[in-house]
Structure 1
Amino acid sequence: MAEIRCDICVIGAGSGGLSVASGAVQMGADVVLLEGHKMGGDCLNYGCVPSKALLAAGHKAHAMGQGAFGVSGGAVTTDFAAAKDHVEQVIASIAPHDSEERFKGLGVRVIRDYGRFIDHDRVQVGADVITARRFVIATGSRPFVPPIPGLKDVPYLTNETVFDLRERPEHLIVIGGGPIGMEMAQAHRRLGSKVTVLEGEKALGKDDPDLAAIALEHLRGEGIEIVEGALASQISGGAGDITVETRDGARFHGSHLLVAVGRKVNIDRLDLHKAGLEEENGAVRVDARLRSPTNRRVYAVGDAAGGLQFTHVASYHAGVVIRSMLLGLPSKARRDHLPWATFTDPEMAQVGLTEAQARKAHGDRLTVVRAEFSGNDRAVATGQTVGLIKVMVVKGRPVGASIVGAQAGELIQTWALAIANRLKMSAISAMVAPYPTLGEVNKRAAGAYFTPKLFENPWIKRIVRLVQRF
């Protein structure tokens, strides 16, 4: 048995763990990184990267089949296996950035095995024991598989296995109408599969309902069957012939089944109790500094820290703990400025409070401004007029923004910047956007906030009339 001593031991080589390890080692810390599965974690291998690559293939097929602006569309032949080749090529091109070789080159000691705590300052990994000044738990999450009767007896897919398919599903049934379920539904529909989505409550239920309705109407228009209030109660059948029965007695038949109902944090094998660590809502209990209140040596980032489960949140958490661990700064994690996006077509994006949340928090102090994509000249020129932005404003400052439409994931960044830095709406309205761009939608929304103050205020009109006398 070897004893290893270091400044920081990072458990998990996903986005958060890699960001902590690379930042810490380059700032002079002695770092050990543990990873028992794949470098790059879920995002690179099963999540963000392969899903967006498959969506891109579906988008290309859809665009070629539609035809517009004097260009004829028509029947499109799709090669599902070739689309999966594209997915693999994208992963392979990004993988070197997250590779063991790169991190060893930075000076990180990488151990390809799982670790578990054996006391407050030691982790067992294989036959070795690591003693560290600080630990960072960055173990990510995995698909949650619900205990639906019959599910374990039929072949089913999750985001960890769906990308292994080489033959196009004839009819894909998706259980779960959240971001993962809807993205995979649209990608497979556009690549030629029949798709049914079963959602126990409301599809895209975490998003603003007005915006979700726009996206869902578009998805249904492409032929995706979306059934809300359809809680799966029994699953039966076998490979190529699967039946899902819902609580109300409806039955749905398909060739393949994808389960996309949520995520479960990977903390099972860590033996947290031996380090005096506590769980909270299925994750590691941490304070605003992402530090365990019961073992001050231990931090958690990303999914392991609870809260929003996104790659960019894990990277943000990494910066928070690096400032705290290495520089001794009073660094705390915020949540109000963290954006997210769903990459369906049209895209959906959110930062800060939704309208319902803002009304509950701020009441009569809230002003909601809206801008339609149909009023944007670039959207008109490109035929992307389906879209809407809402901005929630309190005392002149945005506290939330919701967008559905083309490039929503890009457009939301303006509002993420504004909320992160407590900018006022005047800062957005003062921005000069190049014409014609979709970015003008943001400026139009900011202008909508000032419109009643300028054009509906009788004092403004009196001042203007007075000035004109001179």
Structure 2
Amino acid sequence: MRKPIIFAALIVVAVIATFIVADPSPDSLRNLRDGLRGWQASYPLALPLGFFVLYVAIAALSLPFALWMTLLGAALFGFWQGLVLISFASSIGALLAFLVGRYLMRDWVRGKLGNRLGAIEKGVARDGAFYLFSLRLIPVVPFFVINLAFGLTQMKALRFYIISQLGMLPGTVVYVAAGAQLGQLNSLSGILSPGLLGAFVLLAIFPWIARAGLRIVARRRAYRGFTRPKSFDRNLTVIGAGAAGLVASYVAAQAKAKVTLVEQAQMGGDCLNSGCVPSKALIASGRAAANASAGAALGVSSEPVVDWSRVTARISEVIATIAPNDSVERYEGLGVDVRRGHATLIDPWTVEMDGQRWSSRAIVLATGAAPVIPPLPGLDQVEPLTSETLWAALAARPAPPERMVILGGGPIGCELAQAIARLGGGVTLIEAADRLVEREEPEVSDALQAALRHDGVDVKAGAKAMQFGVDGDKWVELDDGTRIAFDMLLVAVGRRARLEGYGLEELGIRTDRVIETNEYLETLLPNILAAGDVAGPLQLTNAAGHQGWIAAANALAAPFWRFKAASAPIPAAVFTAPEVARVGLTVAEAEAQEIAHEVVRYPLGDLDRAITEGAREGFVQIITAKGSDKILGATVLGDHAGEILAEVTLAMRHKLGLGKILSTPHIYPSWSEAAKNAAGRWRQGHVNPRMLALASRFMTWRRG
């Protein structure tokens, strides 16, 4: 929003510079203007027609001169004639560029626009012509990008032209008005004339006015058919008490809002009860067993004895220890009205639970996600487990499962496969993709697969489960015909947002995928926001918590203040051994987005702390913008990867480059030095050879 103000200031500077550099005489300025207008009087059609054709060509060829042509045309032809010429010329030029993108340069445009094209196609599918109108009214996306990109959509050419002309008209009026005032300028003192100052002010505030108008129109479209209450029983209602819902409720309570939190299952959601917490407790037991077995390398020999009943009992104890942080009692003590049951939305402001109804100014949907059970033949006959049912099944066993199959080689599958194998279980891990954790760097997948196999996991990457059955033993048949018998099957192939049964379909909100939200986490109905697994794109507890406070803040403070959800980088980790942690882009993602970048890698084998602990496997990899220390992404593989990554995440969040990390003293010997040493490797690769040569000569001179 600063750009219009900056542009208005640049116009003033340009005008002043013109008077300083050129002849400041009012007579010379008037003579130039009068000469052009005299030529126009002699040839009344030639100058407007030539200007019109030139403007159309500039717009059609996507040349960066349209803005200056607008000001020139307004100054030359005046407001009304200039407005007609410029409005039609810009719209016709845009249509020609649209047709070029559709019929002549389709593949080139698709390749160049990349992710931008996907966002535009998504907007067209969601809002149709209104989306184009909003882009034209507030040009967040560059003029030429809109012209070319919309040529690749299903929008008809005539519709594109009409919407473009209508959408660009208000902005054209503002710029033509400014240009017309400039055309009347006779001297430097004229810059302070009321007309020109008014044009500059209008130029600066137009985006705010347009954005506010669009918001009003969008809200009226969204709420058509609904009647908004005159007053509300609650400031905020939060549905779901997982990470996102708890944070949203906490933020609202701290802001002294009247907030109701509804949860139909367990407080704390999946993370506390069936996800992060129990899995990390199991991983800790597996790590203890592995460390005992590997102690000989450090001079300590012992054989671990696994007490399976104690392992599973400890998992329950860990959950019980953390549970009070997420309890009803704690949140009621904070001032949150906590209700247990299933909530349904009657309209955008009315919530019903167990026959009771209340109105709420805003609603945050934080209903989480449920494990996906793929529709494979015979799967229902073999009693498949998910992350929600696994823990009770493990606790009911006297020992680790001897023949366990895990379907899915993502973070959940890899973590649990390794932990159970380390505790003495027999595990087969089946992954349909060619490698495990396929979103990570290929080297990470290779190292993780080798580590799991070292711990006794039978990894079958690139193998697809085709069918299941029971023939004495339970079995799964792979795409190569191999049959694997098992006693226990865990399905960990993904999670789907929980959206059915909340009344969303009746409100026009789609429930067949994660809820579509804007950058402020608002849904199709702006007073209903979504956070956490239901909103995506990352199904992570830390991402859910971050979105929870964003959603609550926007629900309570809009329209006065609003925060963007994508403003912070979200780190993620796979708690295997070696551990994997990542934030931002991978190399493949940077290449796919055609971002010029550099990669620096520091091996943990060179880190003194890793050497002392005998844990030298892994690396720190940091991706930077080409020629800059700006961090685009980082991957850490090895012990304490999550802790090492924290510093890099902090630097990304606050736009600190590798130079800042390098100049910060770190404890020695520590794992955190790995990030600093990686920054040092980057610096070594960016030393100017000429400066080194000069430094050598300088030092030679100083020695005499």
Return the alpha-carbon distance in structure 1 between the equivalents of residues 310 and 481 of structure 2: 39
Conserved 8 A contact 2:529-2:555: no
5 Å matches for 1:46-445? 46-164=274-392, 165-166=394-395, 167=397, 168-201=400-433, 202-237=435-470, 241-279=473-511, 282-292=513-523, 294-328=524-558, 329-334=561-566, 337-363=569-595, 365-394=596-625, 395-445=628-678
Q: Give percent identity, aligned residues only.
A: 35
User: What displacement does 1:252 show?
Assistant: 1.3
* Between structures 1 and 2, the one with greater helix share: 2
Letter in 2 for 1:410: E
**Does the C-alpha gap of structure 1 residues 147 and 53 become closer, same or farther in structure 2, counting only changes over 3 Å?**
same
Deviations 1:377-407 (A, max 9, x none): 1001101101111100002201000111001
Aligned twin of 1:465: 697
Return the alpha-carbon distance in structure 2 between the equivalents of residues 389 and 339 of structure 1: 14
1:89 alignment partner, SS class: helix
**Does the C-alpha gap of structure 1 residues 4 and 58 become closer, same or farther in structure 2, counting only changes over 3 Å?**
farther
1:299 alignment partner, SS class: strand
User: What displacement does 1:74 show?
Assistant: 4.2
User: What displacement does 1:327 show?
Assistant: 3.1
Return the alpha-carbon distance in structure 1 between the equivalents of residues 533 and 487 of structure 2: 32
Conserved 8 A contact 2:241-2:263: yes
Return the alpha-carbon distance in structure 2 between the equivalents of residues 144 and 94 of structure 1: 27
2:509 alignment partner, SS class: coil
Please point out which of 10, 15, 32 is paired with 2:260. 32
**Does the C-alpha gap of structure 1 residues 244 and 336 become closer, same or farther in structure 2, counting only changes over 3 Å?**
farther
Aligned twin of 2:166: none
Conserved 8 A contact 1:113-1:125: yes
Conserved 8 A contact 1:120-1:274: no
1:207 alignment partner, SS class: coil
Letter in 2 for 1:265: A
**Does the C-alpha gap of structure 1 residues 335 and 147 become closer, same or farther in structure 2, counting only changes over 3 Å?**
farther
Moved more, 347-356 or 202-211: 202-211
Moved more, 112-121 or 11-20: 112-121
Conserved 8 A contact 2:582-2:633: yes
**Does the C-alpha gap of structure 1 residues 4 and 324 become closer, same or farther in structure 2, counting only changes over 3 Å?**
closer
Return the alpha-carbon distance in structure 2 between the equivalents of residues 265 and 14 of structure 1: 13
Return the alpha-carbon distance in structure 2 between the equivalents of residues 82 and 63 of structure 1: 18
User: What displacement does 1:124 show?
Assistant: 1.7
Letter in 2 for 1:416: T
Deviations 1:347-393 (A, max 9, x none): 00110000111123344x31100000000010011011011111000
- Runs of 5+ unmatched residues, structure 1: none
Deviations 1:438-464 (A, max 9, x none): 11111111111111222x724322233
Deviations 1:258-277 (A, max 9, x none): 11000011111112122332
Conserved 8 A contact 1:103-1:110: yes
1:206 alignment partner, SS class: coil
Letter in 2 for 1:29: A
2:272 alignment partner, SS class: helix
User: What displacement does 1:72 show?
Assistant: 3.7
Deviations 1:214-257 (A, max 9, x none): 1221111111111011111101128x932111122121122211
Conserved 8 A contact 1:336-1:351: no
Conserved 8 A contact 1:13-1:41: yes
**Does the C-alpha gap of structure 1 residues 67 and 6 become closer, same or farther in structure 2, counting only changes over 3 Å?**
same
Letter in 2 for 1:438: W
Conserved 8 A contact 1:290-1:321: yes
Letter in 1 for 2:384: Y
Conserved 8 A contact 1:4-1:129: no
2:565 alignment partner, SS class: coil
Letter in 2 for 1:432: P
1:270 alignment partner, SS class: coil
Conserved 8 A contact 2:244-2:549: no
1:18 alignment partner, SS class: helix
2:701 alignment partner, SS class: coil
User: What displacement does 1:433 show?
Assistant: 1.1
Deviations 1:101-127 (A, max 9, x none): 111111211110011112221122111
Conserved 8 A contact 2:267-2:327: yes
- How many residues matched? 463
Return the alpha-carbon distance in structure 1 between the equivalents of residues 479 and 358 of structure 2: 50
Conserved 8 A contact 1:342-1:348: yes
Return the alpha-carbon distance in structure 2 between the equivalents of residues 75 and 235 of structure 1: 37
Conserved 8 A contact 1:4-1:128: no
Return the alpha-carbon distance in structure 2 between the equivalents of residues 387 and 121 of structure 1: 52
Return the alpha-carbon distance in structure 1 between the equivalents of residues 306 and 678 of structure 2: 40
Conserved 8 A contact 1:120-1:276: no
Aligned twin of 1:44: 272
Letter in 1 for 2:602: A
**Does the C-alpha gap of structure 1 residues 336 and 393 become closer, same or farther in structure 2, counting only changes over 3 Å?**
farther
- The higher relative CO (CA closer than 8 Å, separation ≥ 6) is in 1
Moved more, 154-163 or 15-24: 154-163
* Between structures 1 and 2, the one with greater strand share: 1
User: What displacement does 1:322 show?
Assistant: 2.7
Conserved 8 A contact 2:332-2:338: yes
**Does the C-alpha gap of structure 1 residues 207 and 308 become closer, same or farther in structure 2, counting only changes over 3 Å?**
same
5 Å matches for 1:444-463? 444-454=677-687, 457-463=689-695
Aligned twin of 2:203: none
Moved more, 58-67 or 193-202: 58-67
TM-score by length of 1: 0.95
User: What displacement does 1:467 show?
Assistant: 4.0
Return the alpha-carbon distance in structure 2 between the equivalents of residues 235 and 194 of structure 1: 19
Conserved 8 A contact 2:527-2:555: no
2:636 alignment partner, SS class: strand
Letter in 2 for 1:178: G
Return the alpha-carbon distance in structure 2 between the equivalents of residues 308 and 91 of structure 1: 24
1:284 alignment partner, SS class: coil
Return the alpha-carbon distance in structure 1 between the equivalents of residues 695 and 497 of structure 2: 61
2:602 alignment partner, SS class: strand
Moved more, 172-181 or 18-27: 18-27
Conserved 8 A contact 2:238-2:248: yes
Aligned twin of 1:6: 234
**Does the C-alpha gap of structure 1 residues 385 and 355 become closer, same or farther in structure 2, counting only changes over 3 Å?**
same
